[in-house]
Amino acid sequence: MEWLRKNKIFLIFGSLSAILLGIINLSFIYTTVSWDPTETSTMIYTEIVSELEEDGFQQISLEPVKDLKDGGGISKQTGIDVTFDGELYKKSNQWFKRNAKVVIRYHDYPDDLIELKGENLSKNSTQLVEQLQKIGFTNVVRVMEGEDEILSNQDLNELLINGEKITVGAEIFENDNSTYAFPKDAEVKVVYFEPLLTIPEIFRYDSYEDYNEYVEKLKDEGFTNIQVVSEASEIGFDKHLSYVSLDGKEYMELKKNRTNSTLPVKVRKSIPIIVTYKDSSEAIAKRNEEIAKQNEKIAKQRAYEEKIKNPASYQTVSYDAWIHEEIPVGTLARVTGEVIEVGEGGIISDAYIRISMDGMFNQDVYVSIDNDYFKSNILAEGDSVTLYGSVQGRKTYTTVLGASRTIPQMSVNFYNRN
């Protein structure tokens, strides 16, 4: 005990020396990282390397991650995370071996990166598509969403690349030098407004006597979805404008329903427009058909009238065939015989005669004659006559003795006394 009391100071000193020596030895083996892990994503990978080297780490390797999360700016390649012998650095004052294998993962741009500035891009969607394809983008689509009045052909609604909205236009980038970067196969969507165009004014449909004049005005304005249809009309209004509809709505109704009657009617460029005009071709064709039929009828009538004036058009017929109705009604026949009976006509009735055909007393023929013609060409019983007329079948009459008798009948066109 006395020895312990005498050597207490030496023992305490020895213990402290041993502890201090251990701490000194550990400091050569372990060390802490000089920055907070939350700062990793804000530091460029070269800054992280410098910090680690200053902290005494020597086995440092880099692992670039090919993505677009650069942490702000095309020139920066910021950190993702740091591991020491596979252990993630995630809290402050964390100890690691100085000879630990350190891996720094950081954001790096893909090899097929395309850089672009919004201020250099066109606000015309068609030109913009050409620009983007020219600088290397391979997956560019142009779609229409929304409508607006387009000035100076600037119809761009928005530009989306991999879902990120890119601001386009030099005036917006006047004080902004931001640069965008995307891979060549990024999904590029060029969204454009459909232009609102002014429908040419119509005060009255019938003021356009030729619908083509209005169709040309629509085309000059820029409309492309135009359909022209006709409706049947009476003669005299052929090609006149009948009415115009826009997406199923009649133009005059749209015009009447405007909130401001002084403003023109504005609609989408691609709106379906139907221009209906009056077409009298059907009426004209029907009229021409009726005229043709009438002319044909007149021509046939004239031809028939010429035919029945020519004695050569008539044929001799057999009484036996006639009495047996074997000769068609209307057949032009030439008959010679002796007049055996004469009957004068009245105001509305024809004259008639009865002849014995070919002088045969038992071959009577009943003949009806136009009363005026008969009065100019009187026949008497006993006259020998050649008749030119048409077969009318048979006629039954009552004799003076009250008997019923059937004989051939004809209507005469003209005759000659022999």
- The answer to whether the CB of 204 falls within 8 A of the CB of 250 is no
List the beta bridge partners of residue 342.
353
Does the residue 298 lie in any domain? Answer: no
Alpha-helix residue ranges (DSSP H) falling in 165-210: none
Statement: the pTM of the whole predicted model exceeds 0.75? no
pLDDT (tens digit per residue) in 237-293? 889 999 899 999 998 888 888 777 777 888 888 899 999 999 888 888 899 999 999
Report the pLDDT value the prediction gives residue 379, as an integer from 0 to 100: 94
Same domain, 208 and 253: yes
Q: By residue range, what is the domain housing residue 120?
A: 113-197
Close Cβ partners of 169 (under 8 Å, ≥ 6 residues apart)? 118, 119, 121, 123
- The torsion angles phi and psi of 375, rounded to 5 degrees, stand at -65, -25
Q: Using DSSP bridges, classify how beta strands 332-343 and 315-316 pair: parallel, antiparallel or unpaired.
A: parallel
Can you say how many angstroms the Cα of residue 119 is from the centroid of all Cα atoms in its chain?
A: 37
How many domains would you assign to the chain? 4
Question: How is residue 90 written in tokens?
Answer: 């995630």
Co-location of 408 and 341 in the same domain: yes
Residues 244 and 172 in one domain: no
Phi, then psi, of 194 in degrees rounded to 5 = -85, 130
Q: In what order do the strands lie in the sheet with 102-108?
A: 60-66, 102-108, 79-84, 87-88
Examine the fold and report which residue of 52, 79, 108 is the final residue of a domain before the chain moves on.
Answer: 108
Q: What is the pLDDT of residue 16?
A: 54
Q: Are residues 319 and 392 in the same domain?
A: yes
> Which domain-ending residue is among 131, 164, 197?
197
Residues 6+ apart with CB under 8 A from 351: 342, 343, 344, 345, 368, 369, 370, 371, 374, 375
Query: pLDDT below 50 — which residues of the chain?
Result: 18-25, 170-176
Q: Enumerate the β-bridge partners of residue 226.
A: 273
Around 374, how many Cα atoms within 13 Å sit in the side-chain half-sphere? 20
Interval 77-114: pLDDT, tens: 889 999 999 999 998 888 899 999 999 999 887 777 78
Is the domain of 413 the same as that of 321? yes
Are 37 and 106 in contact by the 8 Å Cβ rule? The answer is no
Q: Which residue has the tokens 């606000």?
A: 123
Residues 6+ apart with CB under 8 A from 135: 114, 116
| Residue at 40 is within a domain | yes
| Same domain, residue pair 361 and 324 | yes
Supply the CATH number for residue 99's domain: 3.30.10.20
Rounded Cα distance, 45 and 47, in Å: 5
pLDDT at 176: 46
What CATH number has the domain bearing residue 134?
3.30.10
> What's residue 336's pLDDT?
96
Judged by phi (left if over 0) then psi (alpha if -120 to 50, else beta), residue 300 lies in alpha
Instruction: Report the alpha-carbon angle 332-335-339, nearest 5.
Output: 135
* Shared-domain flag, residues 53 and 83: yes
Of 162, 197, 232, the residue at which a domain comes to its end is 197
Q: Please give the full DSSP string across 202-236, using - where no structure is assigned.
A: -S-GGG-SSHHHHHHHHHHHT---EEEEEEE--TT
Q: Is 367 exposed, middle or buried (0-12, 13-18, 19+ CB in 10 A)?
A: buried
Q: What's the pLDDT at 12?
A: 55
Q: Are residues 102 and 130 in the same domain?
A: no
Rg (CA), the chain: 58
- The helix/strand/coil state of 93 is coil
Q: Is residue 145 part of a domain?
A: yes
Residue that has been written with the tokens 């006394």 in this structure: 417
Q: What confidence score (pLDDT) does residue 116 get?
A: 75
Indicate if 185 and 206 belong to the same structural domain.
no
